[in-house]
Amino acid sequence: MKPSDIIASLGVIILLLAFLLNLYKRITAESRTYTLLNFIGAATCGFASYLIKFYPFVILESIWAGFAIVSFFKVPRGTSEKL
- Total-model pTM: 0.86
Domain boundaries, the chain: 35-77
pLDDT digits (tens, 9 = 90+) for 63-80: 999 999 999 888 665 555
Residue 69 burial (CB < 10 Å; 0-12/13-18/19+)?
Answer: middle
pLDDT digits (tens, 9 = 90+) for 1-54: 999 999 999 999 999 999 999 999 999 998 999 999 999 999 999 999 999 999
56 pLDDT more than 90: yes
83 pLDDT more than 70: no
Label residue 55 by pLDDT band (50, 70, 90).
Answer: very high
- CA terminus-to-terminus distance, the chain: 33
